[in-house]
Structure 1
Amino acid sequence: TQGDSGIQRKGIILGKELARSLGAYTGDLLAMMSPSVRMTPLGIIPKIKMVEVVGIFESKMYEYDSNLAFISLSSAQSLFGMKNRVSGIEIKVDDIDAAGHIAVVIQKKLGAPYFARGWMQMNKNLFSALKLEKITMFIILILIILVAAFNIISTLFMVVMDKAKDIAILKSMGATRASIMKIFSMQGLIIGVCGTALGCLAGFTIVPNLNKIVGFIEQLFDIEAFPSDVYYLDELPSQIQYFDSFLIIVFSILICFLASLYPAWRASRLDPVEGLRYE
């Protein structure tokens, strides 16, 4: 924030993007025009109020920085001809997740014609889009894991074919089907654990440094990866959801293990005579 954090009687605080679009700086005078008009001998004249820019704020949300400005309550009431009335009241709650419940309680107490809305309800379309995006990303992740599982199946099938002689020798020496199956299922499990561990290491390293990586790529290729006027944010927010990560880790390892069972079963069913026939 630049300038005086307190709003003077005739001062205004502009959002960073709004100030840039207006070409306004701290100390400049702006003419504010009200929707209400005055009747004069010269006709209808809009109500205009001169205010001084006393500060510029930045919330890192393009929608707010490009559309919001703050003036004192008395100046706003005078400009809009509202006297001692207000058009709305915003309250800050300690628990943001309880905002919807608090809004319902307030609505019941106030009744009509007043209404109360929580911050999630006010941004319902945005959160609906984010929820859909999260579901889509989860489906894509499942498909990636399934592709990896099919790769494990094909890899183990090739190993079984390549090790047919060794399997036949083990069986001729008294190895049971269960022990053969255990060998190949453990191999699939090890592949899944190692792959998941490498993925976790990469993810837990990249996510906390995501904005630094994006900034480096932007400088390297002279591009703007996430324009604030398109994505509403000047940086990419990221947070590790440990519970979701745990579920994905368990699911990935489980899928890899299950994918190894069929090749392991085929290996355990290999006839030692067939395996040694051409040796």
Structure 2
Amino acid sequence: QGKLDNLLNSSSSNLNPNSSNLPGILIGKELAKNLGLLYLDEVTIISPLGESTPLGMVPRMKKFQVVGIFESGMYEYDTKWTYISIPSAQRFFQLGNVITGIEVKVANAYEAHHIAEKIKNRLGIAYQVIDWMEMNKNLFSALRLEKIVMFIILILIVLVAAFGIISILIMVVMEKTADIAILKTMGAHARSIMGIFMIDGLFIGIIGTLLGTIGGLLLGWNIQGVAEWVEKVFGINVFPPDIYYIDKIPYQVKVEDITAIIIITITISFLATIFPSWQASRLDPAEALRYE
């Protein structure tokens, strides 16, 4: 049992017929668990391509021996994929010496598209070349849409926080009515009063943004540990592998995304200070001190 790449390298010879005269098969960890299979167990494979006999179509069946159990880290693969040697597959599917496809592993996964284009140009139109991004095009489209939706939700959360800043500043203006009136009677300009409250609100926005950014980064860097803690304490599977196809939570911190979020958040916080600051600057000193 181990990682897929290690097993494919170490067990390649075992995939060929061994002492038990059965061809070997590598099977995913979750699939082996569901079928109750262990190392060196025998398993029967049934092909949807049957054989024509006088009694009708008979399913093509063959026994294999489990020579390895792999864990790829992708739930979709670990529950559905198995590997057998090319000669065994050719005999089982009666392909002769034909190979239906070749999978190329590249050093840099993000260069797969360019490499696929080079292979396509060299082989010509007689062969179909598909890279992993094109094979999972629907998944990536869904992820892009999800990212846009999450960004919109984030903006809405910031707007709610902005209304909180507005409420706080309005309450401060109401509490400091007498102080504002005294400042105005001493010669303070409306612009100065407005500036005081704008700086106050902007300071609240900057502190909140910095604390939120630091908290978000700490949570992102420790997301796997947090998820495991939640699962252990509350018994809740935060990221079910049968839905998200992964056994660990990946994360990537992008400086440009963090910068954009900080700028947008501080800008909205600044705009939120305008109305209560303007309200404070329009305060009539005589009316404010009338009942003091």
Would you say same fold, with TM above 0.5?
Answer: yes
Distance in structure 1 (CA, Å) of the matches to 2:168 and 2:253: 32
- Who is 1:114 aligned against? 127
Unaligned ranges ≥5, structure 2: 17-22
2:258 corresponds to which residue?
Answer: 245
Moved more, 104-113 or 248-257: 104-113
The equivalent residue for 2:43 is 30
The superposition leaves residues 147-204 of structure 1 with CA deviations (integer Å, 9 ceiling, x where unpaired) of: 1111211221221122121111112212222221211011011100111122122212
Further displaced range: 40-49 or 258-267: 40-49
Q: Which residue number corresponds to residue 230 of structure 1?
A: 243
SS at match of 1:192: helix
- CA change 1:104–1:270 in 2 (3 A) is same
Identity of aligned residues (%): 52
| Cα distance in 2 for residues equivalent to 1:43 and 1:251 | 70
> By how many angstroms is 1:65 displaced?
0.4
| Structure 1 contact 214–225 (Cα < 8 Å) conserved | yes
Q: Report whether the alignment pairs 1:17 with 2:30.
A: yes
Equivalent pair of 1:33/1:47 in contact (CA under 8 Å): yes
**Is residue 35–residue 80 contact of structure 1 (8 Å, CA) maintained in 2?**
no
The SS at the match of 1:93 is coil
Match of 2:200 in 1: 187
Q: CA RMSD in A?
A: 2.1
Larger mean CA deviation between 165-174 and 4-13 belongs to 4-13
Quote the offset at 1:123 in angstroms: 0.9
Aligned to 2:11: 6
Worse overlay, 63-72 or 41-50: 41-50
Is the deviation greater in 139-148 or in 267-276? 267-276
SS at 1:54's partner residue? strand
Secondary structure of the 2:273 match is helix
Which residue does 1:149 correspond to in 2? 162
Instruction: Tell me which residue corresponds to 2:96.
Output: 83
Once the two structures are overlaid, the 10-residue window that deviates more, 119-128 or 90-99, is 90-99
Map 1:123-138 → 2, pairs under 5 A: 123-138=136-151
Q: For 1:227, give the aligned amino acid.
A: P
> Which residue identity lines up with residue 119 of structure 2 in the other structure?
I
For structure 1, the residue ranges without an aligned partner over 5 or more in a row are none
Shift of 1:211: 2.0
Give the aligned residue type for 2:246: L
Question: C-alpha offsets along residues 17-63 of structure 1, whole Å, 9 cap, x if unaligned?
Answer: 11112211111122223444445666654443332211111112111
Cα separation, 1, equivalents of 2:116 and 2:106: 10
Q: Which amino acid aligns with 1:115?
A: Q
Hey, what's the Cα distance between the residues in 1 that align with 2:114 and 2:143?
A: 21
Determine which of 174, 187, 194 is the counterpart of 2:187. 174
Aligned equivalents of 2:57, 2:276: Cα separation in 1: 85
User: Which residue identity is paired with 1:61?
Assistant: M
State the shift of 1:142 in Å: 0.5
Alpha carbons 1:36, 1:81 under 8 Å: kept = no
Which one is further off, 56-65 or 212-221? Answer: 212-221
TM-fit CA distance, 1:87: 0.9
Amino acid of the structure 1 residue aligned with 2:168: T
Task: Output one character per residue of 1:199-223: Cα deviation in whole Å (capped at 9) or x when no partner.
Answer: 1222122222222222222222233
Corresponding position of 1:205: 218
Range moving further from structure 2, 45-54 or 118-127: 45-54
CA distance in structure 2 between the aligned counterparts of 1:215 and 1:261, rounded to whole angstroms: 44
